[in-house]
Structure 1
């Protein structure tokens, strides 16, 4: 049995920019940020910020503002571990 499917790009775009999808992306970003906060040293030097934005879909960035963030990621994997714990697939390039 063959199916003919027509892709409604405008409709898919609306789904990706409004409603549950952007909310789910924001919730996942907040979960990652919370996990990273729990892994940062308690030295008062850093913070973790979630920035929401929209391109052709709802999106969010998790930003680690800590002077040792790169080293903590390299040594302990604080960001990739937090993303994996939130259910995201993490892989190298």
Structure 2
């Protein structure tokens, strides 16, 4: 139906605006070279905290991008704030 076509176009547009550029920005989250074992002698616990920080940064970035994507969808914005939060969780 026409309504389905419009919904698909809305989803594709939001995807194009948010998901594609997200991966272009993702390169800024490469871990520092010093975290790789071939750059220094083996130290089993030393890189754990920097890696956890790195993963936290990646996860924060991804969640922010998902929120931006959903906020670009009219049907999502038409939901109550509580419903939006529940869906994002």
**TM-score normalized with structure 1 length:** 0.39
Which has the greater radius of gyration? 2
Higher RCO (C-alpha under 8 Å, 6+ residues apart):
2
| Structure (1/2) with the larger strand percentage | 1
| Structure (1/2) with the larger helix percentage | 2
